[in-house]
Each structure stands twice: as C-alpha cells, then as structure tokens.
Amino acid sequence: MKSHYQVLIIGGGTAGIMTAAQLLKKNAKLDIAIIEPSDTHYYQPAWTLVGAGTYDFEKTAKSMTEVMPWGVDWIKDKATGFVPDNNAVSTENHGDVSYDFLVVATGLVMEPGMIKGLPEAFEKGIACSNYINPEHTWETIKNFKGGNALFTQPTTPIKCGGAPQKIAYLAADYFRKHGLKNKTNVIFATPGTVIFGVKEIRETLMKVIDRYGIHFKPFYAPKAIDVENRIVHFSHTAPEENRCVINEDNDLGEKMYGDIDIHVPFDMLHLAPPQAAPKFIRDSVLSNDSGWLDVDHHSMQHNKFGNIFGLGDVAALPTAKTGAAIRKQVPIVVDNILKLMESKPADNHSYNGYSSCPLVTGYGKMTLAEFDYKNNFIPDPKLKRMLVFNSAKEHWRLYMFKKYGLPYLYWNKMLKGKQV
C-alpha cells in the first residue's frame, strides 16, 4: 500500500464513494484512495420502510467491494487522527498516509450514552430504532397490542431529520389498519418548535397528524429513560410563556414535576439516538466548537486548511443531513479540488443548503420536502417535470419513487459518479 495520494478520502459512505467516482469521471488518471474499515455499504434511506415491514433489509446492503469505484485504492483501515500541517492522516494499522488534497466524508456516529438509560433500553429490546436495527422496529410494531406508542428524537443534529416522524406515521397507519387505533395513543415528541421548518410541508404534516390523531408534543427534549418503569423523562424547552401545564389523570399518563420535568410512560418506544461526529474528528483541530467539521457553508472547503474539504453528515452545514444534500454537495467539492489542482482558486461557492426529506406519511403516501438554508421550499426542476404535481402534498407516486426509484438511482447512478 502506498503512503501518499493526490486525493485521500476518509469514508466509504455515500459522500466518499460519490466524490471519488465523480473525480475519476473528470480525470481517470487521478491517484485516489479511500480509507474505510467496513465490509458493507448500506442504503440507509430504505430503513424507514424496513421498519414498517415493506422493504427487505438485505436489499439495503452491498459489499464495499461492489461499490468501490474502479481505479481507487481501498485502504481497509480506520482513520484515527489528522496531521494537517504535514498533509497526513493517521490510521490504526497503516501508519500515516499523506495527501495533496483531503476529503473528509466520515459520516456521523450514534451516541446513545448521551441519554441516560438508552443503551440499556436498546440492550433489553425495550426501545427500538430504525437508525440501529430497523428489523427490530418492525417486530416491535407487529407485536404491539395497544397503549402509549412513543416516538421521539434527541437535541443533537441527526441524519435524515424527518426519519423519527416518518416511522410514527407508518406505525399509526399500521395500527389503524389492524384495529388498534382506539386502543393506542401515538405520541410524537420533539425538542423542536414545529413539526417541520418548511411552511408548505408543515401544513401538510399537521393534517397528517390530525388524521391519525397523533399527540404532537413540541419542546420535549428526552434526557433519561427509566427502563424498569418504562418512562421517558423529558425537559420542557419552551420559553416560560409557551410552557404547557400537564394535568393529572390525562389520557397519556403524563406527569409534570416542577416547571420543566415531564415523565411520559410508554408501551412502545422508538427513538433516534443522539448523534455526533466521530470522536477523532471532535478531538481534532479540524472541528468547530460543536465538534463538527469546520467547513465553508457554500464551498465545503475547510475554513483553516485550504486543501481539505468536508461534506455529508460530518460537515458543520446548517441544513438537513441527507443523501440528497450530498448529491448537490459532491459536484461542488469535485469542481473546487480540480480547480486547486490547476492552481486556480476554489471559487465554486454555489451550494445553497439544498436538502431533501422524503416524508412517508403512511403506506402508499408521501410528501417530498426540498429546501435550502433559509427553509424555502425549492422543488428540484427535474423532479417537478417528472412528477407533474405539487410535491408538498401527499401522493402515492412519491411513495413509489421513494420505494423503487430512489434506490435504483442510488446504486446505478449516484454511486457510479453519474449526474442525477
């Protein structure tokens, strides 16, 4: 294995594979390596459907060998640190690997320990999560007999910010179809202030919540799980004038202690674990104060080291962490690296924060949220032409696009470096 490359990429996920593939499409002679320890590459957007029993988990996985672009050196190892002044990355088993240009595309990691009791809840099967084991989520939904079905998410940034509510809608639809609606309280609790930041999508989702009779709880930040008594402890994060008062003997069995401590009992619990950048990124000079990779919001170039770029879930970009965002970020990073190779400035600052969240709202129903840094609703013109209707509304054609169209595009176009 060589110890120096023109372009070194950390991460064999969506962002890393796409960047390498697009670079090689532009110049097949480039000397590129990807550092990635895993044997398997997953198409995680389908895990929502796996958790609802409508997609085969095995179809979300391919071997890393199969997706690694031809012409790339695969360094099957873990990156452990950076030596940016020497243009090098430290690895667990291969020593330091140096580079002319570095692309950091590590993704993020699950940190369940940031909520007290959550690791034990997962270990004992009391909590389920599409982020960790979607097949267990499906078993949990199938075996549910009634009571409080509680869905929640953490205060940290998470990948695919809509995923915790998608499974709540699918579960509510499943319970309705199986005669459990009147025996069940579906609760969606979020630290956020609204169900979704984009006005057009928010209006649609509030109708969905109303249709299923979901108990929507904004300003609920989960902080601990009492595994033995099956209770989630929340902090109420609303300003005092907006704070709700929990009355005794309410339908959900909620109890309030003091001004901000709320206890919600559950019979089923699904949650997104807290998430963070990998520890070696958080502890490095490349991270910002919040522990995410410190990059320019429009060029993805690192703010301190000009020959380093970061994109995807690890990047400190104030937009949703999705594959759709990566699809728009990669061509800009590729363009900027190629310009630097020719001693030109990395002047492509065209990323506007585009991200997209396919919000499945039931079996056969979906709305597609596409938005920018300012939460403007910005449907992709190509999709708009193809779908020929308002994608802010629920539609079965969007659901079919999510289930069949997007996986096809992912495996056959995006990962192969083709423009989508």
Written as one string, the DSSP assignment of 280-292 is: HHHTSTTB-TTSS
Strand partners of residue 109? 276
For residue 189, the one-letter residue type is A
For residue 14, the one-letter residue type is T
SS (H, E, C) 63-111: EHHHHCCCCEEEECCCEEEEEHHHCEEEECCCCEEEEEEEEECCCCEEC
Contacts 24+ apart (CB under 8 A), 219-222: 219/191, 219/192, 219/193, 219/243, 220/152, 220/189, 220/190, 220/191, 220/262, 220/264, 221/154, 221/155, 221/191, 222/115, 222/152, 222/153, 222/154, 222/189, 222/191, 222/271
Give Cα separations from 371 to 58, 93, 295, 391 (angstroms).
31, 41, 20, 12
For residue 180, the one-letter residue type is L
The helix/strand count (H/E) of the chain reads as: 12, 22
Cβ–Cβ under 8 Å, residues 131 and 111 = no
Q: Which of 357, 360, 392, 398 is catalytic?
A: 357
DSSP state for residue 181 in the 8-state scheme:
G
Q: Which of 118, 160, 221, 262 is catalytic?
A: 160
> Helix, strand or coil for residue 62?
strand
Q: How far is CA 204 from the centre of its chain?
A: 22
Contacts of 259 (CB under 8 A, 6+ apart): 236, 240, 243
SS (H, E, C) 356-380: EEEEEEECCEEEEEEECCCCCECCC
Which residues in 140-149 are b (16+ Cβ under 10 Å) and which e?
bbeebeebbb
CA–CA separation, 1 and 290 (whole Å) = 35
160 assigned to active site: yes
Among 126, 159, 130, smallest CA distance to 274 is for: 159
Residue whose token pair is 């020593």: 95
Catalytic site positions: 160, 357
